[in-house]
Structure 1
Amino acid sequence: MRPWLKWFIAIDTAIVAIFLAVVFTPVGEQRPAIEQIGDVARGQTLLNTAGCFACHTDTTEDAALAFAGGPRLDTPFGDFYAPNITASKTAGIGNWSLAEFEAALRQGRNRQGQSYYPAFPFLSYRSLSDQDVADLFAALQKTTAVDQPAPSHQLAFPYNIRLGLKPWRWLFASTQSLNIDQSTAIGRGRYLVDVVGHCGECHNPRNSLGAFIAPYLGGSRDIPGGLSAPSIVGAALERMDWTEEDLVYFLADGMLPDGDFVGGSMVEVIEHGTSRMPESDRRAIAEYLFSLR
């Protein structure tokens, strides 16, 4: 057999093997079943902290239906719509199991075994504790059921092919949980910033394929809708004359150090999220961010 033919066969075999791996390798990973019982009140606090209302509720409608599906998210890849996550058994997650909810939230896997698009921040949520997952699920099961499905994503080719998310995950993503010690204020702040609040989803820069790149929390000019988000590490905040106390007050009411108030998408984050946190959590966030250089 001629050498070039051997190389041709070897390359073709490798391509076929990679394709089969992409098709048949399961999305996510097997995790032990969650045994904790969810607490609805704690789950409601977590829903606020995680900003679920802002993403999953279309407040541009005259009669906004809480958690029934979010507004259009305009990105370079197409338009995304956050789904209905109410207790509806037909359009929401009312007939989901806790295991299915965990797989979606922490592993980015839908009920059909396919990958969610990373517009859904499962890469941040991967480090949620078992108890927090159970609490979130319990709270969502108590929401008012809305039997109205959210619009489907409208994505350009080839981004509309979910199979392409498997190699993307291999290249850029890990669903391995981070073990974050919350026994200190800084640890608690890190958990709130990196996991529950998923602040990096807006404040991390990304490459052309939408994956996070350095510097961590270094700001982004590619926020959907043509907006931008600044760097929020302590060193950058200090250069803009912010103090920890300024940040604590900002997270409570949106007031900037100069007395003006924030605009854009951060308004909803504060109104439906950080303003409803315990003050201790807002202070933990500020302490953590100002520890970053």
Structure 2
Amino acid sequence: MSLTKKIIFGLLAFGFTGLAVVLLVGLNVEERPKITVAGNAQNGATLLQTAGCYACHTQAESANGVYAGGAALVSPFGNFYAPNITSSKQHGIGDWDIVTFERALRQGVNPNGQSYYPAFPFMSYRSLTDQDVADLFAALQQVEAVEKDHRDHEVGFPFNIRLGLKPWRWLFSTVKPLKIDQTTSVGRGRYLVDAVAHCGECHTPRNSLGAPIPPYLGGADLNGDWAPPITARAFEQMEWTKDDLVYFLEDGMLPDGDFIGSSMVEVIEHGTSNMPFEDREAIADYLFSLVQR
């Protein structure tokens, strides 16, 4: 065998060995100290809106019930359906404890130890504070139980094999939280954009395997629905001011007096419009400080 063939076979063997190791080892989760702070259900109810939980887990114009499962999230890999997160013990999360909830929310791991598909934004939620996690859990415990099973994802081969999520997470995912100082308006805005509202999930481009790639918040094609760049330079080019953005996040009105359409309507109606004015202002401060990263 020639030296070239030996090198090729050696690289292939190394690659398959590495893949086998990744498939056999556990998910890249980070055991955190158990959350001990008491949850505030009232604050959690607001967070359920601003974090997109209502928008994704409640199917509009349906008798399914609030938080009983959402409409399809259409992607190049298939259709994903948000599950029932009501207090139902059989079909929802009524029998979960705070540890199970935290692992699902911030680490993307279900009660069976399997990874959630990254259609669920756990890579953004990884930076949620303990208090916000506790508040969300307290609010969901008070949601009326809906005895309805979740709808299975419609994902074709090979993406329907969850084992393949292990190498994906190994290559692209991290569960280490961002260290975000919320004592300033810009810092608070960063926390809301990067963690709570997970804006980067839609406004950041992705590669052919669905992993986010630079430029962060640089705009992305969502199956024909364009999510524009939302950096300082982009707003400058559109001649938007901070005030324009603050009021847009409240009612969806564009600077020219028209109103936004597409999926952003739901984000505003069930998300950013429920934020306190100071939080919308903080988002504007952060995004206008963000040149590119």
TM-score surpassing 0.5?
A: yes
Q: How does 1:165-204 map to 2 (within 5 A)?
A: 165-204=165-204
The residue that corresponds to 1:147 in the other structure is 147
Q: Which moved more, 1:241-250 or 1:64-73?
A: 64-73
Change (3 A) 1:47 1:6: closer
The residue that corresponds to 1:230 in the other structure is 228
Which letter does structure 2 place at the counterpart of 1:49? T
Offset at residue 177 of structure 1 (A): 0.8
Number of aligned residue pairs: 289
- The answer to whether residue 262 in structure 2 is matched with residue 261 in structure 1 is no
- The answer to whether residue 198 in structure 2 is matched with residue 212 in structure 1 is no
The residue that corresponds to 1:37 in the other structure is 38
The residue that corresponds to 1:126 in the other structure is 126
| Aligned 8 A contact 2:22 2:166 in 1 | no
C-alpha separation in 2, matches of 1:98 and 1:128 = 14
| Aligned 8 A contact 1:27 1:114 in 2 | no
- Once superposed, which parts of structure 1, at least 4 consecutive aligned residues long, lie more than 4 Å away? 3-14
How large is the RMSD of aligned CA atoms in angstroms?
2.0
The residue that corresponds to 2:75 in the other structure is 75
The residue that corresponds to 2:23 in the other structure is 22
- The answer to whether residue 70 in structure 2 is matched with residue 53 in structure 1 is no
Change (3 A) 1:280 1:177: same
C-alpha separation in 1, matches of 2:247 and 2:11 = 62
Residues 242-261 of structure 1, C-alpha deviations (whole Å, 9 max, x = no match): 10000010011110000000
Offset at residue 171 of structure 1 (A): 1.0
C-alpha separation in 2, matches of 1:261 and 1:167 = 42
| Aligned 8 A contact 2:219 2:230 in 1 | yes
Offset at residue 60 of structure 1 (A): 4.0
Q: Secondary structure at the match of 1:212?
A: coil
The residue that corresponds to 2:92 in the other structure is 92
C-alpha separation in 2, matches of 1:151 and 1:127 = 28
Q: Percent identity?
A: 60
Offset at residue 45 of structure 1 (A): 1.3
Offset at residue 51 of structure 1 (A): 1.4
Structure 1: runs of 5 or more not aligned: none
C-alpha separation in 1, matches of 2:238 and 2:30 = 42
C-alpha separation in 2, matches of 1:227 and 1:33 = 40
| Aligned 8 A contact 1:60 1:71 in 2 | no
Query: What TM-score does the superposition give when structure 1 sets the normalisation length?
Result: 0.93
The residue that corresponds to 1:101 in the other structure is 101
Residues 250-275 of structure 1, C-alpha deviations (whole Å, 9 max, x = no match): 01111000000011111111111111
Offset at residue 24 of structure 1 (A): 2.9
Change (3 A) 1:287 1:140: same
C-alpha separation in 1, matches of 2:6 and 2:137 = 56
C-alpha separation in 2, matches of 1:17 and 1:204 = 29
Which letter does structure 2 place at the counterpart of 1:251? L
Offset at residue 30 of structure 1 (A): 1.2
Which letter does structure 2 place at the counterpart of 1:120? F
Which letter does structure 1 place at the counterpart of 2:29? G
Residues 27-49 of structure 1, C-alpha deviations (whole Å, 9 max, x = no match): 41211111111110111111111
Query: What TM-score does the superposition give when structure 2 sets the normalisation length?
Result: 0.93
C-alpha separation in 2, matches of 1:278 and 1:111 = 34
| Aligned 8 A contact 2:86 2:92 in 1 | yes
C-alpha separation in 2, matches of 1:22 and 1:198 = 28
| Aligned 8 A contact 2:41 2:135 in 1 | yes
Change (3 A) 1:258 1:36: same
Change (3 A) 1:260 1:117: same
Change (3 A) 1:9 1:132: same
Q: Which moved more, 1:144-153 or 1:180-189?
A: 144-153
Which letter does structure 1 place at the counterpart of 2:262? G
| Aligned 8 A contact 2:86 2:93 in 1 | yes
Structure 2: runs of 5 or more not aligned: none
Offset at residue 140 of structure 1 (A): 0.5
